Amino acid sequence: MRNRLRSRLPSRDAVALTLLLALAIALPWLAEAAGNPAGIALATRIAIYALAASALNLALGQGGMVSFGHAAFFGLGGYAVGILYAHWSWQEPLLGILPGTVSLPLTLLAAVGLGGLAAAAIGALSLRTSGVQFIMITLAFAQMLFFLFVSLKAYGGDDGLSVRRQGEFPGLSLRDPAQLYWLCLGLLVGWLALLRRVTRSRFGQVLAGARQNERRLRALGLTPYPYKLAGFILSGMGTALAGALMVNQARFVSPDMLHWTKSGELMIMVILGGVGTLLGPVFGAAALVGLESILSAWTENWQIILGPILLLVVLFGRGGLMALLRRVLPA
């Protein structure tokens, strides 16, 4: 009741979010004006990692599924773009039937579909376990895919695959870094809007219940497994979309995208930003990617500085950056 009365006025949150979004949209012009066009590429990477981290957060923060293998979906999304490009450039259909393509809507769709299929297979098996076992089995699946792509010499193996042709999106010229950035920002905002709806839906309530107390769910007559699996699949699809965008930005895909350290990075973004919050992973991604870029320009051993910063946030900012922000800006 109280919430409904208050919602007639724009809340402080809504104002802050509108400003933040305006700033994000204006960023390419601001970067040009500041004489730092490389800032656009940095912001694009932040938007992409934010998408991946908030997709992981759906499984980890909402459903309590601590997946240590989300790099698998990130890498598969990337390879979907890379492999379709390779077959397009060789003019030779994949498996003799699927023609290659550089059309971005098609490659993104393929990436999301592949990510969903992989998450369905990995999730269906992994979700029969829980706790530490679940962490280890998701890690094992991701490592299997990592070594699979290392051994696939047709697609560059260890060295990876260069994507020499920018994806084509009707009405956009993605060779322009600003337009690629806006596309990534738009997809991020759309993804967050979708997550907001899903977490408030009936499905989202059950998923949050599965995180808190599975025994209680069963006593309500709800079987947690299919709901967790659906959440895991949706999470894998979002992560694969981010991976596909990343390959469009970097114009390169390699098994590094599937490496377990990538799963760790995504997890750090979620925990740093605030587990289970809508915007936490976005702030976490911005902080991690931003710090990496600032510190690595300063010293080669930037991780020595990053480590203690992460420790401080985890030790003193319980609930991550989102909780720190809430102290400054109460709801």
Partner 1 sequence: MTPLLTLDDLRKSFGGLRATDGLSLTVLPGELHALIGPNGAGKTTAIGQITGEIAPDSGRILFEGRDITRTPAARRVRLGLSRSFQIVQLLDAATAEDNVALAVQARQGHSFRFWADATRDESLRHPARLLLVEAGLPPARWDLPVADLSAGERKQIELAVALAAQPRLLVLDEPMAGLGPSESRAMTETLQRLKGQVAILLVEHDMEAVFALADRISVLVYGRCIATGTAAEIRANPEVRAAYLSEEDAV
The footprint of partner 1 (CB under 8 A) covers 197-198, 200-206, 208-209, 212-213, 215-223, 226-227, 230
* Tokens found for residue 268: 């750090």
Q: How far is the CB of 7 from partner 1 (least distance, A)?
A: 10
Q: How far is the CB of 224 from partner 1 (least distance, A)?
A: 9
CB 80 within 8 A of CB 244: yes
Measured distance CA(178)–CA(323) in Å, rounded? 32
Residue 92 burial (CB count, 10 A): 11
Q: How far is the CB of 180 from partner 1 (least distance, A)?
A: 29
- Within 8 A by CB and 6+ apart from 324, the residues are 313, 317
* Closer to partner 1 by Cβ: residue 45 or 211: 211
Q: How far is the CB of 125 from partner 1 (least distance, A)?
A: 20
The crossing angle, in degrees rounded to 10, of helices 280-298 and 320-328 is 100
* Closer to partner 1 by Cβ: residue 153 or 215: 215
- Within 8 A by CB and 6+ apart from 200, the residues are none
Which parts of 1-100 are beta strand (E)? Answer: none
Measured distance CA(129)–CA(149) in Å, rounded? 26
Query: In which element (H, E) is residue 22 found?
Result: helix 12-33
Residue 79 is which amino acid? Y
Start-to-end CA span in the chain (Å): 16
Q: How far is the CB of 60 from partner 1 (least distance, A)?
A: 15
Residue 232 is which amino acid? F
* Closer to partner 1 by Cβ: residue 222 or 306: 222
* Closer to partner 1 by Cβ: residue 2 or 175: 2
CA 55 to chain centre: 5
* Closer to partner 1 by Cβ: residue 228 or 259: 228
* Closer to partner 1 by Cβ: residue 133 or 213: 213
Q: How far is the CB of 129 from partner 1 (least distance, A)?
A: 18
Measured distance CA(187)–CA(182) in Å, rounded? 9
* Closer to partner 1 by Cβ: residue 167 or 238: 238
Q: How far is the CB of 2 from partner 1 (least distance, A)?
A: 8
| Residue 161: strand, helix, or coil | strand
β-pair partners for 252: 162
* Closer to partner 1 by Cβ: residue 95 or 331: 331
